[in-house]
Amino acid sequence: MTSQQPPSTVPDVPRYAEELAEELEDLGAPGPGPAPDRFLDREASWLDYSARVLELAEDTSVPLLERVRFAAIFATNLDEFFMVRVAGLRRRIATGIAVTAPSGLSPREQLDLISRRSHEQVERHVRVFRDDLLPRLRDEGICLLHYAELTADEEKRVDELFEERVYPVLTPLAVDPAHPFPYISGLSLNLAVVLRDKDTGREHFARVKVPPVLPRYVEVGPSRFVLLEDVIAAHLPELFPGLDVLETHTFRVTRNEDLEVEEEDVENLLKALERELLRRRFGPPVRLEVEETMSRRVLELLLRELGVGEPELYQVPGPLDLGSLWPIADLDRPQLKFEQFVPTTHPRLRDSDGQQVANIFTALRESDVLVHHPYDSFATSVQAFVEQAAADPAVLALKQTLYRTSGDSPIVDALIDAAEAGKQVLVVVEIKARFDEQANIKWARALEQAGCHVVYGMVGLKTHAKTALVVRQEPDGSLRRYAHIGTGNYNPKTARLYEDVGLLTADEQVGADVADLFNHLSGYTKHSDYATLLVAPDTMRDGIIHRIDREAANARAGRPAAIRLKVNSLVDEQVIDAMYGASAAGVCIDAVVRGMCALRPGVPGLSDTIRVRSIVGRFLEHSRIFSFHNDGAPEVWLGSADMMHRNLDRRVEALVEIRDAAVREQLTDVLDIAMDDTTACWELGPDGEWSRLLLDSEGRRRVDFQGTLIHRHAAQSADPRDQRAS
């Protein structure tokens, strides 16, 4: 069938940290009193993560176009940080709920810290782009030009393009008593223009918006580009005939783009959210970026009209919005990129000749399968699981959560096919997924029109669990449940960019628990007792802390004890305090935390036995894995939740216990590689400072975690003889 693609309000470019904004949600979370000796500041910790991404843009050992990509990632991440976290802190101050953070900083102090650190990072970012990346790109024949640098032939072509494609969509807006200062939409790129009437000598101000519907980088020749705003600036006399152009400067505003919907007070959540999305466009400014050449009089006009203070002002050499560098990073220059990588079909999911996708239900009846994306293909594993269920006449019902998916989603297509084939289809669509709300509303309506049962989760909670359930009638007439529980979204595009793990299983108890979870989401049940799942907000925090405390008890009794976890963020104070207690008992704790970490490792008497590392690379580390030694009977869990207030208190999340020994061994192997002393990483010190570790104790370069997994999966794909252990 034809995919029903909903319209998008943002460019369809891959984002390295698509869920970044979700990781910044904990503004309203309760917490303990200030304890800076125990908790690092989460704002500073996020900025540390931002700095790690920036380090990769600065790293000359990284291929050139990948460095450009990391420069773009840094910029888009910082945009979302301001739209969500900075906006939220400013709102708390404005409303008088300025609660001191566990780190001991007040919201005002946090904003001061953010301003200082962000300005420093932006200066580094501009410097590496201007002084390093641009010259290296030029050396490789990739030229980002100013209009004045074009050849005569290039200038002629650009002039023609302006007349035919650009001029018709421009709308210059004057500012005078009859024309009030225009509304400046968030993240739009704008030209501030100062004009003088040739007859009267009177000066005027105008704003010209750079059209977001046109490519930012205009290709004027092979690997030669000029910025669209430069093209427009060069043709301003055509927009303002009879006026002299005195000044032209670019500027950009970032606005509060948070949403506030009181779900208990609205009759129809869908309509309420749509109204709030319209209001989002008019959020107050939280940052103003301008070219450093902007005159003081123009700058003061913008500050006054936008209501922005000097701390929110960022003056940079330009160009602004380096988050738009994706088309440059995507140029077809393989020698300037990471070695090409193509995901492969999991050996257990291939047919006998190794060429086609096997019947997944047959494979799962044999044993569980762990898929590790992007190394294992999403299309031939999780996507195939849903598609085969939709096409299989023996499948009676299909249930799935959808948090984020792609614009042309084969998952949604398969769900629609299943409903049209007469199967019972339940889809839990989370329409409050930040910055994907509009797309999810469109998907919800398309699914409903096809006959799917669509629910929007639970009032007051976001449904973030990644679960799918298939009910199938077996040849003997019995019914059997097949399930998928994962750490990543059902999105084939991000599955090629994000590192995630997922369990495909026909385990009866796991299937029964997932069925109960879906009944809990779609009905009025108060079920919270699961044999193989930890589900937030009911049992997850207590379940994790119980297992941490059990390791501590084992250590005090003289038995072996160890905890290992891999998460995106670790900021929940109750979980951290439990880890401190386990450390005091002598438990060895290793954590890989990609983003924010409020735990202080290695503090004498507090966290001597805790080590925290971070891995940032070509793929976004996104999996959540928890491992407990359990006195020789190891427990391993995977699922959707980070150790944050928002995950544990305000979301429906699911972790599943791994009951298959071979799958436990595979996840243990992933943790072994990530935490090995020969693996490159950043390490967190007790003072809150991160150090990059590229060399081992003998001075040899450490191995790349993701590169190791690429080569390992490639070897397994080439020689899948041991399919059970792969």
Kindly list the catalytic residues: 464
Residue 72's nearest CA partner among 13, 119, 28, 7 is 13
Centroid of chain to Cα 361: 31
341-361 residues labelled b (16+ CB within 10 A) or e (exposed): bebbbbbbbbeeeeeebbebb
Rg (CA), the chain: 27
Residue 40's nearest CA partner among 594, 644, 566, 601 is 601
Stretch (H or E) spanning 693: strand 690-693
> CA torsion angle for 334, 337, 342, 346 (degrees, to 10)?
160
Tell me how far apart the alpha carbons of residues 41 and 35 are, in angstroms, rounded to a whole number: 10
Sign of the C-alpha dihedral, residues 647, 650, 653, 657? positive
What does each C-alpha distance from 215 to 162, 218, 236, 320 come to in angstroms? 12, 6, 19, 15
CB 425 within 8 A of CB 452: yes
Cβ neighbours of 37 (radius 10 Å): 10
Relative orientation angle of helices 42-58 and 64-81, to the nearest 10 degrees: 160
Paired with 479 in beta bridges are: 473
CB 90 within 8 A of CB 256: yes
What does each C-alpha distance from 306 to 118, 297, 309 come to in angstroms? 20, 14, 9
CB 212 within 8 A of CB 253: no
Tell me how far apart the alpha carbons of residues 706 and 105 are, in angstroms, rounded to a whole number: 36
Q: Which residue has the tokens 């009859």?
A: 178
Q: What amino acid occupies position 294?
A: M
Contacts with 443 (C-beta within 8 Å, 6 or more apart), sequence order: 6, 402, 405, 409, 412, 429
Both tokens of 708, joined, read 């190791």
Tell me how far apart the alpha carbons of residues 440 and 225 are, in angstroms, rounded to a whole number: 35
Helices (H), 508-621: 508-522, 540-556, 573-584
SS3 assignment, position 248: strand
SS3 assignment, position 96: coil
Which segments within 74-200 are labelled E, that is strand? 143-145, 173-175, 189-197
Tell me how far apart the alpha carbons of residues 145 and 143 are, in angstroms, rounded to a whole number: 6
Q: What angle do CA 713, 358, 414 make, to 5 degrees?
A: 100
SS3 assignment, position 672: helix
What does each C-alpha distance from 319 to 206, 549, 578 come to in angstroms? 20, 53, 47
